[in-house]
Amino acid sequence: MMNFRLVLVVCACALLASCSGKDATKESSKGQAPASPGGKSAELILGKWESAKGKDVWEYGKDGTLKMYLAGKDEPLTTGKYTFEDEGTITVEFQDSPDSSKKITEKLKITVTQDELTTTDSKGVVDNFKRKK
């Protein structure tokens, strides 16, 4: 009978501890930003990427900004923003041209490594980029 009470008390303590309302993962990552839906891709995509065709450069900023340059130009042709839907999908939004108020929104499937970025748009058009050094 004494063993039964001991087991009951241990189980009750374990149950109460598990219902404390504190999330152990939140406690261990205190002070860190919440995980991005982009996961590792959100880190890898940051920086400047030159198209394999050499015609343009896309720059992904940490703050979600997107700048598109013509190759060899210092000023962006247009600017916009990007957000991760998940690790393999981003949504980009940008102006059609600097003097246009028309915005273009496109969902892109991506694969990104340290040195290569591939995007596929909703029409199946694939663009390959190399990290600009």
The model's pLDDT over 49-94, given as tens digits with 9 standing for 90+, comes to: 999 988 899 999 999 999 999 988 999 999 999 999 999 999 999 9
Return the top range by mean pLDDT from 13-22, 24-33, 98-107.
98-107
- Cα(70)–Cα(23) distance, integer angstroms: 48
Residue of higher predicted confidence among 103 and 35:
103
Tell whether 94 is covered by a domain: yes
Q: State yes or no: pLDDT of 97 exceeds 80.
A: no
User: pTM here?
Assistant: 0.69
85 within domain boundaries: yes
* Environment class of 31 (CB within 10 Å of its CB; exposed 0-12, middle 13-18, buried 19+): exposed
Top pLDDT among 14 and 108 is at: 108
- In a 13 Å sphere around the CA of 22, the CA atoms on its Cβ side amount to 8
Choose between 57 and 100: higher pLDDT. Answer: 57
95 belongs to a structural domain:
yes
End-to-end CA distance of the chain: 73
Task: Assess contact for 110 and 128: CB atoms under 8 A.
Answer: no
Q: Which domain holds residue 121?
A: 39-131
Give a yes or no: residue 13 inside a domain: no
CA angle 88, 79, 50 (to 5 degrees): 60
Total domain count for the chain?
1
**Residue 107 lies inside a defined structural domain of this protein:** yes
Quick one: pLDDT at residue 35?
Answer: 52
In a domain, 108, yes or no: yes
Is residue 2's pLDDT more than 80? no
Q: How confident is the model at residue 106 (pLDDT cuts 50, 70, 90)?
A: very high
From the list 97, 68, 93, 98, the residue with the least C-alpha distance to 81 is 93
Write the CATH number for 110: 2.40.128.280
Residue 11 falls inside a structural domain: no
Is 10 a domain residue? no
Q: Is 130 helix (H, G, I), strand (E, B) or coil?
A: strand
Neighbours of 22 (CB within 10 A): 9
